[in-house]
Amino acid sequence: MKTTDKRNSIMQSALEVIAERGFHDAPIAKIAERAGVAAGTIYRYFENKDMLIIILNRELEEKINERLRKNYPVEQPLRERFTYMIRELLRYFVANPLHFRYMEQYYNSPYGISRRKERLSDESGKRDIARDLFKEGIEQQVLKDLPSLVLAAFTFGPLLSLLRDHIVGFIRLDESLIGRIAEACWDSIKK
Amino acid sequence: MKTTDKRNSIMQSALEVIAERGFHDAPIAKIAERAGVAAGTIYRYFENKDMLIIILNRELEEKINERLRKNYPVEQPLRERFTYMIRELLRYFVANPLHFRYMEQYYNSPYGISRRKERLSDESGKRDIARDLFKEGIEQQVLKDLPSLVLAAFTFGPLLSLLRDHIVGFIRLDESLIGRIAEACWDSIKK
DNA sequence: GATAAATAAATGAACGTTCATTCCGCCGAG
DNA sequence: CTCGGCGGAATGAACGTTCATTTATTTATC
């Protein structure tokens, strides 16, 4: 097994154990066991448990960003780009429920609090699809005249609740429902 | 100090410590210290830490329900009752940020997962304001024809995000903004 | 055979909970 | 009125467990 495989195997195991059992009840020993590795080995690949957790989150965020940018309909009107983003996001997490549960935990933990602040004051050149959409929409007067943070809350807030409900089995996010949800999101922020 | 005072003092301390520092980093020792009692004393009032946490949550939920029912405009049209509920909820948590942070943590922890399921299959006579509103709205065809769980996600999902943003200081939920948010919520679920 | 990688036992810190001891307010006897 | 002692309440040191991390040792690779 190549060392990069072993590293991946550790990350995959951490993803599974933490997503399934929560940050509590995800001891290094358990992560090592599922990865088929001894506890000490993890420390050859990650500085410590915190770093493993943080890096894993970064990687998941990266995957999602890639997915959103792929086939992003740059040419379409705002409304289509917006609903496309929502539909893709929902599809991604429906296909990768563990990713959702991991990130949900991450952002509801001390790790996530700082990550959130970081993200808000992100003045790096890194484009953020959602941020651009809101800005454009406000300028064009097609969106409600609310702070973009508020628009973001109306866009993503419901999605979190819905994905949770889907993953525990209370609702089924099929293509039809996903479509209607995207429309409802748009309704809540359009002027 | 009467024993009921001591009990309250322990609960208040738990609320503060957990809301401010998270479930992690809220050891019994710290809760006891802030309550001005010894660690062992807590176990005279609560079976164990879990029970303290669960009972505290119940009490907070109770407070909120009271507040929502008080002055609830039963006679008004659906739309007014709906926006009233949202405004009151936001006002309550703006006035009691610790309550929000506590409950947020609670519902994002193993405690809350079961609580959520409990609530969903709650066939006790206990009326749930929101549930009734959605049911009525769907019957009257004034709300979108979506499962009430989805309507609930569109109603409460954004509020959670917004309250978080308010509490960390990213936005300021004043009366004007609260009003506009309630309207936007309505827009997202009305037909 | 030397170097790097992996192992699993050892370490020490943190935590919830217990329990032997202390504290304190009350009451009845003198 | 005073004093002794009784019982419930409170205490906090000690215990047992869990866990991340380190380390000494073994195993694999070139």
Instruction: Name residues whose C-beta falls within 8 Å of residue B133's C-beta, 6 or more positions apart in sequence.
Output: B78, B81, B82, B85
Q: Residue B118 and residue B106: Cα distance in Å, rounded?
A: 14
Name the residue with tokens 């550790």. Answer: A10
Q: CB-based contact (8 Å) between B107 and chain A?
A: no
The ipTM assigned to this model is 0.91
Binary contact (B108, A108; C-beta < 8 A): yes
Nearest CB among A22, A185, A189 relative to B110 is that of: A22
- The answer to whether A47 CB sits below 7 Å from nucleic acid chain D is no
Q: CB-based contact (8 Å) between A154 and chain B?
A: yes
Which residues 112-141 in chain A show a CB within 8 A of chain B? 113, 116-117, 120
Position B123 confidence tier, pLDDT thresholds 50, 70, 90: low
Position A119 confidence tier, pLDDT thresholds 50, 70, 90: confident
- The answer to whether A49 CB sits below 7 Å from nucleic acid chain C is no
pLDDT for the residue A114: 85
CA atoms within 13 A of residue A73's CA, in its CB half-sphere: 13
- The answer to whether B37 CB sits below 7 Å from nucleic acid chain D is yes
Position B116 confidence tier, pLDDT thresholds 50, 70, 90: confident
- The answer to whether A25 CB sits below 7 Å from nucleic acid chain D is yes
Choose from B23, B82, B187 for mutation: most chain A CBs within 10 A. B187
For chain B, give the number of residues.
191
- The answer to whether A44 CB sits below 7 Å from nucleic acid chain C is yes
Q: Which two tokens stand for residue B24?
A: 């992690």
- How many CB pairs below 8 Å do chains A and B form together? 94
Residues of chain B with pLDDT > 70, as a percent, come to 97
Position A109 confidence tier, pLDDT thresholds 50, 70, 90: very high
Average pLDDT over residues A77-100: 98
Q: CB-based contact (8 Å) between B151 and chain A?
A: no
For chain B, the average pLDDT equals: 94
3-state DSSP call for residue B143?
Answer: strand
pLDDT in tens, B35-69: 999 999 999 999 999 999 999 999 999 999 999 99
Q: Which two tokens stand for residue A101?
A: 């549960």
Binary contact (B24, A147; C-beta < 8 A): no
Q: Which domains does chain A have, with CATH numbers?
A: 1-46 (1.10.10.60), 57-189 (1.10.357.10)
**Closest residue, chain A, to B109 (C-alpha):** A22
Q: Residue B59 and residue B130: Cα distance in Å, rounded?
A: 19
Cα–Cα separations (whole angstroms), residue A124 to A54, A106, A120, B17, B19: 19, 22, 11, 35, 32
Q: Which two tokens stand for residue A6?
A: 């072993």
Position A5 confidence tier, pLDDT thresholds 50, 70, 90: confident
Residue B6 φ/ψ, nearest 5 degrees: -65, -40
Nearest CB among A105, A147, A187 relative to B171 is that of: A147
Contacts with B120 from chain A: Cβ below 8 Å: 170
3-state DSSP call for residue A24?
Answer: coil
Instruction: Name residues whose C-beta falls within 8 Å of residue A89's C-beta, 6 or more positions apart in sequence.
Output: A64, A68, A159
Q: Residue B99 and residue B85: Cα distance in Å, rounded?
A: 17
Q: Which two tokens stand for residue A129?
A: 């699809």
User: Is residue A63 scored above 70 in pLDDT?
Assistant: yes
- The answer to whether B176 CB sits below 7 Å from nucleic acid chain D is no
Position A1 confidence tier, pLDDT thresholds 50, 70, 90: low
Rg (alpha carbons) of chain A, rounded to whole number: 18
**In DSSP terms, which residues pair with B143 in a beta bridge?**
B190
Residues of chain A with pLDDT > 70, as a percent, come to 97
pLDDT for the residue B4: 76
Chain B closest-CA separation from residue A185 CA (Å): 6
